[in-house]
């Protein structure tokens, strides 16, 4: 570790300081230069009322036109790395078939701009944005989409792999499963547990096949996945509560973590799926592909823990099957909350995840790929100098970083910290309600950017490699 006596929490040399964002949430230009529709463009067209203040994904934060300015700002506030995503429907307007040359040009320009500015681009390949043409044939529920995805990702490796050395097959693959097929917050907003399992299975298979394609091309970078991990805490050490937390963990964490890192599925989950008749369709050879193509690196998104207790009432057998048939959520008295987003703040969770990865997942190379605090109405914190005084965000980040630091002291292989997010961006149905950025975006002034106090603070953290 580099030691700077003015800082109490020093981080290892070459620690990755930066932030993350996704194509749909930042690029805008949703229907220009040949981009095809994705599920968000389509859903907004169909049901604009679902989106906060009726704001859709059309313009978002205009990264498509302002990327040079944005990358310069990233550099200015200390970023040495940044996770972006490629929009599948920009590159392949129909999800497969003809490639869009304008998209190739755009992503080449963006990647080159990052490199010229000394900000390493980490590139995600799927961040919730299924091309609409593929959703029409069932999206991830249809195995053909796995093939289309492997084709799309292979082309990305060929086009950009000479400069991009960190790839991520999916961002939070459980979220489209939950949102799209269980809890009604992503398109196609169905409630169908059987389909949800098939969708989840296909995304895991697609990830393994993309990793296989990457290795087969002889690419020399690292390829991984980004998972949202929610440590699952039981209400008490009572065996029934502990069992509930083990099952919640199997459903929401290990379902994707185990196949991604270990190449196998958690047996507790397989047993339930078999017993309830929800096993997905698995083709010959799939499990071998999953076993042999695990990730090199893991991105950890951490926002909040999950607290559970044993079920108090027997589930209604007539109700559609949901994972919470096996546990009840538990609201811990006195918990600290981010009232804007309604999420618990529990900083030690980030440490518990990292130690779990160290102890039970071969201490796989990992980094914090998202962590952050969405706040409504931040304009009221803008002072007379024009800067948003987001001290709460500084406190949030430093409280989490202290636990990351502790995990490193205990041997965690965590290599970096990326905030969600660089600039205020559009969110899935919440649009611009909650602001997460180091940089504010003024939607009334053509997306004008202003660095917040947290951005200035982060610059010092990155420069000192600690705080
Ligand atoms: C993660 C996603 O789930 O959390 C991001 O990777 C998302 O895309 C972020 O924006 C914050 O959640 P939200 O719903 O408040 O935008």
Residues 276-306: tens digit of each pLDDT: 999 999 999 999 999 999 999 999 999 999 9
pLDDT number for residue 4: 56
Cα-to-centroid distance, 317 and ligand 1 (Å): 33
Give CA 256 to chain center in angstroms.
Answer: 13
Give the C-alpha separation, 400 to 404, whole Å: 6
Token output for 323 = 């994972």
CA 263 to each of CA 197, 292, 313: distance values in angstroms, whole numbers, following the listed order: 17, 7, 35
Give percent of the chain with pLDDT exceeding 90.
96
Q: Which of 166, 261, 171, 168 is nearest to 220 (CA)?
A: 166
Strands 337-338 and 81-85: unpaired
In three-state secondary structure terms, 359 is: helix
Q: Please tell me the residue having the least CA distance from ligand 1 atom 16.
A: 427
- Choice among 49, 370, 448, 463 that is catalytic: 370
pLDDT number for residue 196: 98
- What ipTM was reported for this prediction? 0.99
Task: Give kind and range of the element (H or E) at residue 301.
Answer: strand 297-301
* Residue for token pair 């050879």: 285
Check if 370 is active-site: yes
Ligand 1 atom having least distance to the Cα of 171: 6
CA 84 to each of CA 23, 67, 171, 201, 305: distance values in angstroms, whole numbers, following the listed order: 7, 11, 11, 25, 25
Give the C-alpha separation, 167 to 331, whole Å: 37
pLDDT greater than 60 at residue 3: no
pLDDT number for residue 5: 55
40-86 pLDDT per residue, tens: 999 999 999 999 999 999 989 999 999 999 999 999 999 999 999 99
pLDDT greater than 80 at residue 180: yes
Cα-to-centroid distance, 430 and ligand 1 (Å): 10
Is the Cα torsion angle 396, 397, 398, 399 positive or negative in sign? positive
Q: Which residues line ligand 1 (CB under 6 A)?
A: 22, 25, 171-172, 175, 228, 301, 341, 370, 374, 420, 427-428, 430, 434
Q: Which of 311, 352, 326 is nearest to 268 (CA)?
A: 326
Cα-to-centroid distance, 427 and ligand 1 (Å): 7
Token output for 244 = 């509930």
* Domain containing residue 50: 16-464
Name 18's bridge partners: 81, 418
What value does the mean pLDDT of the chain take? 97
pLDDT number for residue 125: 99
Confidence tier at 399 by pLDDT (50, 70, 90): very high
pLDDT greater than 60 at residue 274: yes
434: left (phi over 0), alpha (psi -120 to 50) or beta: beta
Q: How many CB atoms lie within 10 A of CB 50?
A: 16
Is the Cα torsion angle 358, 363, 366, 367 positive or negative in sign? positive
Which residue among 126, 427, 431 is best mutated to probe the pocket of ligand 1, counting the most ligand atoms within 8 A of its Cβ? 427
pLDDT number for residue 261: 99
Cα-to-centroid distance, 371 and ligand 1 (Å): 9
pLDDT greater than 60 at residue 1: no
Interval 196-220 mean pLDDT: 98
pLDDT greater than 90 at residue 314: no
pLDDT number for residue 441: 98
DSSP-assigned states of every residue in 24-85: HHH---TTSTTPPPBHHHHHHHH-GGGSGGG--TTTTT-HHHHHHHHHHHHHHTT-SEEEEE
Burial 239-271 (b: 16+ CB within 10 A, else e): eebebbbbbbbbbbbbbbbbbbbbbebbebbee
Give the C-alpha separation, 75 to 450, whole Å: 14
Cα-to-centroid distance, 434 and ligand 1 (Å): 10
Report yes or no on 11 lying in a domain.
no
Confidence tier at 7 by pLDDT (50, 70, 90): confident
pLDDT number for residue 164: 99
Report yes or no on 452 lying in a domain.
yes
Give CA 448 to chain center in angstroms.
Answer: 26
pLDDT greater than 90 at residue 153: yes
CATH code, 290: 3.20.20.80
Interval 332-340 mean pLDDT: 96
pLDDT greater than 60 at residue 2: no
Q: Please tell me the residue having the least CA distance from ligand 1 atom 10.
A: 427
Per the structure, how many domains does the chain have?
A: 1
In three-state secondary structure terms, 399 is: helix
Give CA 171 to chain center in angstroms.
Answer: 4
Report yes or no on 170 lying in a domain.
yes
Report yes or no on 373 lying in a domain.
yes
pLDDT number for residue 160: 99
433-448 pLDDT per residue, tens: 999 999 999 999 999 9
Which tops the pLDDT comparison, 92 or 324? 92
Report yes or no on 5 lying in a domain.
no
pLDDT number for residue 123: 99
């Amino acid at each position: 570790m580099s030691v700077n006596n003015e800082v109490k929490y020093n981080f290892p040399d070459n620690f990755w300081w930066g932030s993350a964002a996704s194509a749909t949430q930042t690029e805008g230009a949703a229907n220009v230069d040949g981009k095809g529709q994705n599920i968000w463009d389509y859903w907004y067209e169909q049901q604009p009322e679902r989106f906060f203040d009726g704001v859709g994904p059309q313009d978002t934060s205009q990264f498509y036109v302002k990327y040079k300015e944005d990358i310069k700002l990233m550099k200015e506030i200390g970023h040495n790395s940044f996770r972006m995503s490629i929009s599948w429907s920009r590159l392949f307007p129909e999800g497969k078939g003809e490639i869009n040359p304008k998209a190739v040009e755009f992503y080449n320009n963006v990647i080159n701009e990052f490199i010229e500015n000394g900000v390493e681009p980490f590139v995600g390949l799927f961040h919730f944005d299924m091309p609409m043409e593929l959703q029409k044939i069932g999206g991830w529920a249809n195995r053909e989409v796995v093939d289309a995805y492997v084709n799309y990702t292979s082309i990305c490796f060929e086009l950009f792999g000479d400069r991009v050395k960190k790839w991520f097959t999916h961002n939070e693959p459980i979220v489209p499963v939950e949102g799209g097929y269980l809890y009604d917050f992503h398109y196609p907003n169905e409630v169908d547990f059987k389909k949800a399992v098939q969708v989840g299975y296909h995304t895991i298979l697609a990830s393994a096949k993309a990793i296989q394609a990457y290795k087969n091309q002889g690419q020399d970078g690292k390829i991984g996945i980004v998972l949202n991990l929610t440590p699952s805490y039981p209400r008490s050490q009572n065996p029934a509560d502990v069992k509930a937390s083990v099952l919640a963990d199997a459903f929401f964490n290990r379902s994707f973590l185990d196949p991604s890192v270990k190449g196998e599925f958690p047996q507790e989950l397989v047993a339930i799926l078999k017993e309830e008749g929800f096993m997905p369709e698995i083709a010959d050879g799939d499990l071998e592909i999953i076993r042999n193509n695990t990730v090199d690196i893991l991105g950890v998104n951490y926002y909040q823990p999950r607290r559970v207790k044993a079920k108090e009432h027997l589930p209604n057998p007539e109700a559609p099957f949901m994972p919470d048939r096996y546990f009840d959520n538990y609201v811990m008295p006195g918990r600290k909350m981010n009232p804007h987003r309604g999420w618990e703040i529990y900083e030690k969770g980030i440490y518990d995840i990292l130690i779990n990865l160290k102890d039970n997942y071969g201490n796989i190379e990992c980094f914090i790929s998202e962590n952050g605090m969405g706040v409504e109405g931040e304009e009221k914190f803008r002072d007379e100098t024009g800067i948003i005084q987001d001290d709460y965000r500084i406190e949030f980040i430093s409280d989490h970083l202290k636990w990351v630091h502790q995990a490193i002291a205990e041997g965690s292989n965590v290599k970096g910290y990326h905030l969600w997010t660089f600039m205020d961006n559009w969110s899935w149905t919440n649009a611009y309600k909650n602001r997460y950025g180091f940089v504010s975006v003024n939607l009334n002034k053509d997306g004008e950017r202003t660095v917040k106090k947290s951005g200035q603070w982060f610059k010092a953290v990155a420069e000192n490699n600690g705080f």
